[in-house]
Structure 1
Amino acid sequence: MLISSAFAQTAPAAAAGGGNLMSSLTSMMPLVLMFVVLYFIMIRPQMKRQKEHRAMIEALAKGDEVVTSGGLIGKVTRLSEGFLHLEVAPGVEVQVQRSAVAQVLPKGTLSTGK
């Protein structure tokens, strides 16, 4: 007797399933809209910045003047696959990771102090 009453209770819900599907899609629309807005406001610009940074790092050459993410300013003296050597003062060279370069400065930005 219990089983037949359980089937009887679910029968009207199954029959009205077409309208129920439309209402659940409509209720999910704000969530989908928020994700689309989030993508265009936050995710897409971040991916663009990462792509530009990667291109800048790959284009580094000997003699470029750079600023690292730690604030060191120097001239590139040697390059290897994952690292580069910066001359931060006459005769003083430090080795940093390529990914630590935050910005490439225009040529002649570093003054020699003369």
Structure 2
Amino acid sequence: MEQLNQFLPFLLIIVVMYFFMIRPQQKKIKQEKEFESSLKVGDKIITKSGLHGKVSELAETTVVIETMSGKLKMERSAISLELTAALNKKA
């Protein structure tokens, strides 16, 4: 019984860390993967570096975006925000 009382604070710390750090991070990763897979040609997007453009081609892990200065090939994970849905919600 005494040993259980000694390890109880450590167990509580682990449980708290799981619910406040690990679990939210896993949810965020899952949402990002769903977002990346839901991209389609014609979507207006913003990359994590701040470039604005429109999706012109999609590959398994990459995307080609059209900007005012030309076309750029990037990783899907570099896309931060999809503007088409956000613009349609406001209208």
Q: Decide: shared fold, TM above 0.5.
A: yes
Q: Give 1:38 shift.
A: 1.0
Q: How many pairs are equivalent? A: 87
Aligned: 1:96 with 2:74:
yes
Aligned residue for 2:42, secondary structure, equals: coil
Q: TM-score, normalization: structure 2?
A: 0.87
Aligned: 1:105 with 2:83:
yes
User: CA RMSD of the aligned region, Å?
Assistant: 1.6
Q: Give 1:99 shift.
A: 0.9
- Off by >3 Å, runs of 4+ in structure 1: none
Aligned residue for 2:24, secondary structure, equals: helix
Structure 2 unaligned blocks of 5 or more: none
- In structure 2, how many angstroms separate the alpha carbons of the residues matched to 1:77 and 1:106? 14
- In structure 2, how many angstroms separate the alpha carbons of the residues matched to 1:25 and 1:107? 53
Higher strand share: 2
Identity of matched residues, %: 36
Q: 2:59 aligns with which of 60, 72, 80?
A: 80
Matches within 5 A, 1:18-97: 22-89=1-68, 92-97=70-75
Change (3 A) 1:24 1:108: closer
Aligned residue type for 2:19 = F
Structure 1 unaligned blocks of 5 or more: 1-21, 110-114
Cα shift readout 1:34-75 (whole Å, capped 9, x = no counterpart): 111111111111111110110010011000111111111110
Aligned residue for 2:41, secondary structure, equals: coil
